[in-house]
């Protein structure tokens, strides 16, 4: 490209605390009825005084440490003044020059994207625009919810990289347990600052695209804005510093207002809140940070030797990854499995059934909100995998067993016994069936001896039919070859 894109992100995430940021109203993002979780503090009534939510502060520090940030000893809250119908006080309690954390980074595809700061503020209310009406309604349930804001340096160079950064951050927030970061529910919002510059020259004029509420929108809005700005520069026009919105239906950005500067908000220290001095929280919080997504990817690759695609799916669904590891730990405790079966084969078979067969069963049963086979214990799932690997049930019988386990949570061995699904591996038993099939299919026998390999598969299928699916196909194939040669 003639012009080099320079992209910085501002990402807001609602924290998963029990109460709001400065009052004891419940923090309930699923509330259906408007204006039921409100009080004089979060609606800005005269004389009400805020109190800092310590858990929200700890959550920001936890995120900051996970993202390699520095934690200053001193921090404070400020008033950010602006007027909008969903801001009940006429100002927002935020942080300006003394945030809770600074100077971090997140590695994306081996490249460090620097993080300028992560700070804490309160969320606004929510405007509800009635279709066809000449008024809007305000729901203050969200007003005062703890809101964490992360600001990156302008280190991002492509729309795809911006999307990947946002996705990885969402995953980290979920692993840390500080936010569900569900973009569809407004729990995570992305704003992108985009400018273009000639190669080697200083940064171009910055344009901000607000409130991107899906990863697809993040990528497409940035791609659109890069092209729009490039077209303007090519035609000799100037880029205006402004705030733009994203129209997902039209797949284009649109102008909202000229961009405010920090002085427009008239920041000053919040007089009703004391400054914060971070004492011994750092070591305490570091002990609470468990394995993060990238470390888990690397461990899964080394320990379980799974395909990268499987690892990515598992790690991106933390509960699935936890369940997978629970099943694998059962193999390690089973002496029989450890001695006679390859653990690596069991791991791969587990991932395959968990990522393909379980979702297929959920789809057949028309279970829309599916996450995990909750009725199947890790112990029963591992037992099922061992039975499949040992050849005690066929793959087709395995699907029947797994479906029953999915519905009832029953033990696989009991299901196999109750339904008579145990695979027949006795050569004496199978030889009798093979002899009868050969006798009844003389043409297929001639075809096989004439070099037609497909005829063997047909004969195996006939044996499987005669045995009602219980025959071990590998042993059947071996017996057939011995007879036919």
Name the residue with higher pLDDT: 60 or 203.
60
Q: Which of 97-111, 163-177, 249-263 has the weakest average pLDDT?
A: 249-263
Instruction: Report the pLDDT averaged over residues 69-92.
Output: 94
Q: What is the pTM for the complete model shown?
A: 0.87
Q: Which of 87-96, 270-279, 328-337, 347-356 has the weakest average pLDDT?
A: 328-337
Q: What is the DSSP letter of 260?
A: P
Give the three-state DSSP class for 464: helix
298: confidence class by pLDDT, cuts 50, 70, 90 = very high
Residue pair 8/193 in contact by the 8 Å Cβ criterion:
yes
Per the listing, tokens 């919810």 go with: 145
pLDDT of residue 167: 98
Instruction: Show the tokens assigned to 45.
Output: 């009534």
89: confidence class by pLDDT, cuts 50, 70, 90 = very high
Tell whether the model's pLDDT for residue 334 goes beyond 90: no
Q: Which of 62-76, 169-183, 293-307, 460-474 has the weakest average pLDDT?
A: 460-474
Instruction: Show the tokens assigned to 34.
Output: 């408007």
263: confidence class by pLDDT, cuts 50, 70, 90 = confident
Instruction: Show the tokens assigned to 251.
Output: 């797949």
Burial class (CB in 10 A: 0-12, 13-18, 19+), 291: exposed
Sort strands 207-212 and 242-247 into parallel, antiparallel or unpaired.
Answer: parallel
Range 286-289 contact pairs with CB under 8 angstroms and sequence separation of 24 or more: 286/65, 288/62, 289/62, 289/65, 289/66, 289/176
Tell whether the model's pLDDT for residue 337 goes beyond 60: no
The rounded percent of the chain whose pLDDT value lies above 70 is 95
Instruction: Show the tokens assigned to 167.
Output: 């996705």
Tell whether the model's pLDDT for residue 200 goes beyond 70: no
Q: What are the Cα distances from residue 109, in Å, to 68, 104, 162, 314? A: 17, 17, 12, 18
Q: What is the DSSP string of 107-118?
A: EETTEEEEEEEE
Instruction: Report the pLDDT averaged over residues 369-379.
Output: 84
Q: What is the DSSP letter of 148?
A: E
Instruction: Show the tokens assigned to 332.
Output: 């390690």
pLDDT of residue 335: 57
Residue pair 334/386 in contact by the 8 Å Cβ criterion:
yes
Q: Could you give the count of Cα atoms lying within 13 Å of 272 in the half-sphere of its Cβ?
A: 14
Tell whether the model's pLDDT for residue 248 goes beyond 80: yes
Q: Spell out the domains of the chain, with CATH numbers in brackets.
A: 3-286 (no CATH), 304-419 (no CATH), 427-484 (1.10.10.410)
pLDDT tens, position by position, 127-184 = 998 888 889 999 999 999 999 999 999 999 999 999 999 999 999 999 999 999 999 9
Highest average pLDDT, of 4-18, 404-418, 434-448, comes from: 4-18
125: confidence class by pLDDT, cuts 50, 70, 90 = very high
Residue pair 170/181 in contact by the 8 Å Cβ criterion:
yes
CA distance 91 to 84: 9
Residue pair 455/430 in contact by the 8 Å Cβ criterion:
no
Give the three-state DSSP class for 442: helix
Tell whether the model's pLDDT for residue 198 goes beyond 70: yes
CA distance 399 to 471: 15
User: What angle (nearest 5°) sits at the alpha carbon of residue 188, between those of residues 182 and 192?
Assistant: 135
pLDDT tens, position by position, 216-240 = 999 999 999 999 999 999 998 999 9
β-strand partners of 128: 137
pLDDT of residue 425: 63
What ranges in 206-258 are assigned the alpha helix state H?
Answer: 215-234
Q: What is the DSSP letter of 8?
A: E
């Amino acid at each position: 490209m003639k012009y080099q894109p320079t992209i910085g992100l501002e990402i807001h995430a609602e924290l998963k605390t029990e109460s709001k940021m400065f009052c004891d109203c419940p923090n309930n993002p699923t509330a259906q009825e408007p204006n039921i979780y409100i009080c004089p503090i979060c609606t800005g009534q005269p004389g009400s005084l805020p109190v800092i939510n310590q858990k929200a502060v700890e959550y920001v520090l936890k995120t900051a440490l996970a993202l390699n940030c520095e934690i200053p000893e001193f921090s404070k809250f400020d008033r950010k003044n602006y007027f909008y119908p969903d801001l009940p006080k006429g100002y927002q309690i935020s942080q300006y020059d003394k945030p809770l954390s600074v100077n971090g980074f997140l590695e994306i595809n081996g490249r460090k994207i620097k993080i300028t700061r992560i700070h804490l503020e309160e969320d606004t209310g929510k405007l509800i625009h009635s279709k066809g009406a000449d008024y809007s309604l305000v729901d203050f349930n969200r007003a005062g919810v703890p809101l964490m804001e992360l600001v990156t340096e302008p280190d991002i160079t492509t729309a795809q990289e911006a999307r990947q950064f946002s996705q990885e951050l969402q995953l980290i927030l979920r692993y840390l347990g500080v936010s569900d970061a569900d973009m569809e529910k407004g729990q995570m919002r992305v704003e992108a600052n985009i400018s273009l510059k000639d190669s080697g020259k200083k940064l171009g004029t910055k344009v901000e695209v607000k409130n991107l509420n899906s990863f697809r929108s993040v990528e497409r809005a940035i791609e659109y804005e890069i092209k729009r700005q490039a077209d303007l520069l090519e035609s000799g026009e100037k880029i205006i510093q402004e705030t733009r919105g994203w129209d997902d239906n039209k797949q284009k950005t649109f102008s909202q207002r000229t961009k405010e500067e920090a002085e427009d908000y008239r920041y000053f220290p919040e007089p009703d809140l004391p400054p914060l001095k971070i004492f011994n929280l750092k070591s305490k919080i570091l002990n609470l940070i468990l394995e993060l997504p990238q470390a888990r990817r690397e461990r899964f690759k080394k320990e379980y030797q799974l395909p990268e695609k499987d690892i990515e799916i598992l790690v991106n669904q933390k509960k699935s990854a936890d369940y997978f590891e629970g099943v694998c730990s059962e193999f390690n405790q089973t002496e029989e499995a450890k001695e006679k079966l390859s653990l690596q084969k069991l791991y791969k078979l587990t991932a395959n059934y968990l990522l393909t067969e379980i979702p297929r069963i959920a789809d057949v049963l028309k279970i829309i909100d599916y996450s995990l086979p909750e009725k199947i214990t890790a112990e029963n799932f591992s037992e099922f995998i061992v039975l499949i690997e040992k050849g005690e049930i066929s793959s087709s019988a395995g699907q029947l067993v797994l479906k029953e386990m999915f519905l009832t949570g029953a033990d696989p061995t009991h299901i196999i016994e109750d339904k008579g699904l145990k695979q027949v591996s006795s050569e004496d038993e199978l030889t009798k069936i093979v002899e009868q099939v050969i006798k009844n299919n003389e043409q297929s026998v001639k075809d096989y001896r004439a070099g037609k390999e497909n005829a063997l598969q047909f004969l195996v299928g006939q044996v499987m039919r005669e045995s009602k699916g219980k025959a071990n196909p590998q042993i059947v194939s071996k017996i057939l070859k011995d007879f036919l040669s």
